[in-house]
Structure 1
Amino acid sequence: MSRPSAIVLHEFGTDLELRTFPQAVPEPGAVLADVTHAGVCGTDMHLQQGRLAIPLPIVLGHEAVGRVRALGAGVRTDATGAPLCVGDLVSWASNIPCGACTACGADGAPSLCETRRVYGINQGCAQPPHVSGGWSEQIYLQPGSTIVRVPDGVGPEEVIALGCAGPTVTHALRDVAQVREGDVVVVQGSGPVGMAAAMLAAVAGARRVVVVGGPANRLETARRIGVGDVHIDIGAETDPRGRLARVLAETADGRGADLVIEATGVPSAVAEGIDMARRGGTYLVVGQYTDHGETPINPHHITRKQLRVLGSWAFSPQNHVDYVLSVPALAARFDLPALLTAYPLERANDALADMRAGRTLKPVLVNGART
């Protein structure tokens, strides 16, 4: 059998390299999948730069879609109980919580499990099964993985379009804060997390969704596929006071938004977003996944508004299942593949560079794509 190729990070701050690994055979409870599409996430840029402690060498890629190549003994169904067969198109949760800690048990918050295994982030490739990241021709899905068969009528492009942003925002808007029918929602950020937040807020019943972000090409994509009702370009409206005035003008009597979702990853956006929320409203921080430093905040504005300030971290396996099952509804309303720019696996470094420069919104590594 052929040896699968994979993209490997050997040293922080350096280009990734293509190498091959021995063909894996799934143990009982495991699944081997041929990866068709693997997303490039902002977190991957941070991992390459050494902003999170991860084992090296490692096959990156924590969001992917593929087809079942082999089933380990005892695997007969997916996470929903549907039959699972060789050749099925599947998606899988990037993380496997321990199931035994306080977060997993008493708190009912598996996204906070501190020992969860995460594909492409804390699973190195020095030891078998080696291919534990999505930037590969194959991935070894360990026992305990949450694998869900992609619904009929949905292609891999629709599922990977929002990548991990889809289940991340599913967790944020179902488990942490909820969009109520008729809400005005402001989304700070127009990357994949911001796009997912705007889409899911609209589907949940928001009356108006205001997207504050950039660069301009991302906002143009959002307009073209119907994501958001109002789009404010931070590159054109550089004065924070001007941005605030434009946001408030889109709310009832200029009072502010019912819900503001931070999806920028920029600490300074937090103080600005607090100003955009109405009295008694909610400010939800989703985008600060890596530590970009401190930022000044005036807590008086939180108290004066009696504001709920909430944080949302990652997602649970069930959130991933819920997201995948919601993709048909999202695909019926939005042109999800329009978010994607495809690269062959061997051009992973180009995909990272283009994302870092803002030339693309959602790079995706496609096995079989031509250079």
Structure 2
Amino acid sequence: MATVSRGVVLRAFGQPLTLEEAEVPQPEPGALVAEVTYGGVCGTDVHLHHGNLPIPTPVILGHEAVGRVWKLGPGVERDFTGAPLREGDTVAWASGIPCGHCYWCVIERERTLCADRKVYGINQRFDVWPHLSGGWADYVYLQPGSAVFRLPDGVPPEHAIALGCAGPTAVHGVLERIGVGVGETVVVQGSGPVGMAAAMYAHLAGAARVILVGGPASRLDLAREIGVGDVHVDIFATPDPEERIRTVLDETPGRRGADAVLECAGVPAAVAEGFEMARRNGRYLVLGQYTDRGPTAINPHVVTRKQLTVLGSWAFAESHYGRYLRSLPQLASRFALDRLLTTYPLADANRALADVAGGQVMKAVLRPAGAAR
């Protein structure tokens, strides 16, 4: 008898998600099927639901997930690192599959920029085989070429999903693109999962002072309680941008500004404000603008006058995801990752999405019924 999986399907932008079923296919050579333990709900999923990114529909959402190997396809014996892989192993996987042969993959060696990248839960249609290509489901079909990682010993799935895609995104942006250094003062704009992850990695990289600018107050309270950030600036308690800038500058050495400012808010207006928080000859990273929220006014004279280095960082590749997983023991030893999670049944995906959109929770995760065992 065939195994059937439920999946949370986006059929129309702005409309309620539907819980539908599909038969779980047998894995082809090079593929595997995983039983989902947790499917993460990301701010990007909110934007996808609103239609802020052009994607095909219908689609099972969920580009973040962890699970257990249910069936291995012929030839699949090891994970992305070369470690043995067996049915029943706990695994996580990178959301994207770059083509591996385009200009961006081969010449530039920037696999995140691959224009033909397949992305689970975003551009893989539900009405096209293998159907189960998103993490908001009981099972997910991981296609040949997927970067599947067996979780390191001692790393529970709760830790792997706690930062979701924000973790490897921060590894790429904070550690690789802008390169936070020992003793630096760092401002993080945004206190959602991306901002929390960026602040955590700034701490691990040796920043002397991390200033977290965000809200609502509940998120900043949680950050304080688990040790993320040294200074916390509530944008709702301080609604005037000029006052926020003064407050941040007061917390930097000599009021000169931060060595590095990390935009993780996803709000276009944050960029111009962040330029003013950086010191002369400082660095600014645009990390949170994954979906197009529209243009914003920027004074280019500020970039020239301050001699700023302005960088962007797009998503993450397999190497960033592997580095994220390897860093989880360090993160978990310093920060209470479990505190970030709020769990919902798979059937409550619409409620979870609404809670994320409203900033009611830090990290919502969906837990299929079968994952309890």
TM-score, normalised by the number of residues in structure 1: 0.98
One-letter amino acid of the counterpart of residue 355, structure 1: V
In the alignment, which residue of structure 2 is the partner of 1:2?
A: 3
Q: Give the aligned partner of residue 66 of structure 2.
A: 65
Partner amino acid for 1:2? T
Partner residue, 2:224: 223
For 2:187, give the aligned amino acid. Answer: V
Measure, in 2, the Cα distance between the counterparts of 1:340 and 1:157: 8
Match for 2:332: what amino acid? Answer: A
Q: In the TM superposition, what is the alpha-carbon distance from 1:174 to its structure 2 partner? A: 3.0
Task: Return the offset for 1:118.
Answer: 0.2
Q: Which amino acid aligns with 1:62?
A: H
Residue 186, structure 1, aligned to residue 176, structure 2: no
Q: SS state of the match for residue 324, structure 2?
A: helix
Confirm or deny that 1:306 pairs with 2:278. Answer: no
Other-structure match for 1:297: 298
CA distance in 2, matches of 1:190, 1:337: 17
1:40 and 2:50 correspond: no
For residue 351 of structure 1, report the CA deviation from its aligned partner. Answer: 0.3
C-alpha RMSD of the superposition: 1.0
The 5 Å alignment of 1:81-120 reads 81-120=82-121
Residue deviations 1:270-297 (CA, integer Å, cap 9, x gap): 0000000001110000001111111111
Report the alpha carbon displacement of residue 248 of structure 1 after superposing the two structures with TM.
0.8
2: CA distance, partners of 1:323 / 1:295: 32
Q: Is the 8 A contact 2:96 2:146 kept in 1?
A: yes
For residue 279 of structure 1, what is the amino acid of its counterpart?
R
SS at match of 2:158: helix
CA distance in 2, matches of 1:180, 1:3: 49
Q: Which letter does structure 2 place at the counterpart of 1:333? A: R
- Does the alignment pair 1:277 with 2:283? no
Deviation at 1:154, TM superposition (A): 1.2
Which structure 2 residues correspond to residues 328-343 of structure 1 after superposition, within 5 A?
A: 328-343=329-344
Contact 2:261/2:284, CA 8 A, preserved across alignment: yes
**SS, match of residue 213 in structure 2:** strand
Check if 1:351 corresponds to 2:339: no
Find the residue that maps to 1:342 and give its secondary structure: strand
The runs of at least 4 consecutive aligned structure 1 residues that moved more than 6 Å come to: none
Give the equivalent residue in structure 2 for 1:150.
Answer: 151
Q: Is the 8 A contact 2:175 2:205 kept in 1?
A: no
Q: State the alpha-carbon separation in 1 of the partners of residues 273 and 51 from structure 2.
A: 28
Stretch moving more, 108-117 or 359-368: 359-368
Which amino acid in 1 is paired with 2:11?
A: H
Amino acid across the alignment from 1:106 = I
Residue 366 of structure 1 and its aligned partner are, at CA, apart by: 1.0
Aligned equivalents of 2:89, 2:67: Cα separation in 1: 8
Which ranges in structure 2 are unaligned for 5 or more consecutive residues?
none
**Local SS of the residue matching 1:174:** helix
- Alignment match, 1:203: 204
Residue 357 of structure 1: how far off its partner (Å) = 1.2
Offset at residue 317 of structure 1 (A): 1.2
Cα deviation code 1:45-79 (max 9, x no counterpart): 11111111111111000000000001111111111
**Matched residues in 2 for 1:337 and 1:256: separation?**
33
Give the secondary-structure state (helix, strand or coil) at the position aligned to 1:319. Answer: helix
Shift of 1:355: 1.0
How far apart are residue 204 of structure 1 and its match? 0.7
Count the aligned residue pairs: 370
Separation of aligned partners in 1, 2:322 and 2:169: 12
Instruction: Describe the SS at the equivalent of 2:70.
Output: strand
C-alpha distance in structure 2 between counterparts of 1:173 and 1:147, whole Å = 23
Paired residue type of 2:202: A
SS in 2 for 1:4: strand
> 2:245 is matched with which residue?
244
1:308-342 deviation per Cα after TM superposition (whole angstroms, max 9, x unaligned): 00011111111111111111110111001101110
What is the Cα deviation at residue 173 of structure 1?
Answer: 2.0
C-alpha deviation, 1:231, in angstroms? 0.4
Per-residue deviation, 1:10? 1.2
Shift, 1:2, TM fit: 2.9
SS at match of 1:283: strand
